[in-house]
Amino acid sequence: MKEKVVVAMSGGVDSSFTAFLLKEKGYDVIGATMRIWGDDCGEASGSLEGCSGAKSVEDAGRVARQLGIPFHVIDLTADFDREVVRYFCREYARGRTPNPCVHCNEKVKFGAFMARANDLGARYLATGHYARIALQEKEGRYLLKKGKDASKDQSYVLFTLSQAQLGRVLFPLGEYEKKHVRLKAQEIGLPVYNKPESQEICFIQEDSYHPFLKSRLREAIEPGPIWDGHGNLLGRHKGIAFYTIGQRKGLGLATGKALYVTGIDAARNALIVGEERDVLGDLFNVDSVRWIVPPEGDGIVKAEVKIRYNHPGAEATLTPRGNDEWVVKFTSPQKAITPGQAAVFYQEETVLGGGWIREVVRSSGSA
């Protein structure tokens, strides 16, 4: 019997071509779209390409019909609101910068959605992520690796996947470059071959996330002071939820020099600003750490660490602090280490694990 696989189809070129590839390889393919939002909102960065509103469902269904595969729409709006949207708002209200794609992958795509795939009798769940999975046969362990296309690699947003999940996931595009995916999709006549690239946050249609937070947080957003590193009052901010570490624009300060957000003090509803050098840091704490490749020996790990999706990664030393807490020390200072973002650990192309940035212990200004 053919092995059954559910392909998470969002109506974008990546997931559509994924479905085509797997059917060509002889799998029993079922297409399924997650409905996670009421209105269509384009494609989502670092996710399955879309939040599956009406247009996304229509495009995915059209591709499924063209490929001659069954198609389902799975309603996960409640899961998405609980696990992703509320987390997104809660983190900004705390003065942290969330990463909704990582949480969506863990809780929704490879959590609730994978469970529904199982209900459909599927052995595998496939997505259009640009990442690769390899099996270490001797250790009996699955590895998560970077995608071949370095400019599209999405391994960063997948570090939370467990061994059980990695064993049931297929990432066919891990060996492809995005430009080739579009070309091949055009050659085989997929109608979405030239669909635009994704937007930053799948469930927010506006260029800014501020109106969304205003509608969700309301009374939790209050203006407050902007201080420099010496405690001098420089101005007023519009609400800490609207700012992130390293931000330069939108501060409304006329000081004659470029200033950046260097800290967010949620307890005092305050922003701290400084010069560009003050945004650099080399030492920070990470909590809720997950390991795909557990450390050996004394636990100290040498790795390349990425502190946000588009960060190139930098050499660092990781030292254990508790059960799931680690201290990360960069060899050279990095810009805008941001609480709330994921720190993901690599050795060459392999993801070792990752966690969530809790606080910056030392910056260049305090070294």
Six-digit token pair at 129? Answer: 């992520």
Q: In whole angstroms, what is the distance from residue 207 CA to residue 259 CA?
A: 23
Six-digit token pair at 233? Answer: 């009052």
Question: How many alpha carbons fall within 13 Å on the CB side of residue 215?
Answer: 7
- The residue assigned the tokens 């495009």 is 59
Is residue 245 within 8 Å of residue 271, measured between CB atoms? Answer: no
Q: In whole angstroms, what is the distance from residue 74 CA to residue 274 CA?
A: 47
Q: In whole angstroms, what is the distance from residue 46 CA to residue 30 CA?
A: 22
Residue type, 222: E
Q: In whole angstroms, what is the distance from residue 251 CA to residue 260 CA?
A: 8
Residue in 197, 191, 202, 198 with CA at minimum distance from that of residue 16: 191
State the Cα angle at 342 between 336 and 345, rounded to 5°: 100
Six-digit token pair at 73? Answer: 């729409």
> Across the strands, what pairs with 71?
31
- The residue assigned the tokens 């709330």 is 340
Catalytic residues: 104, 202
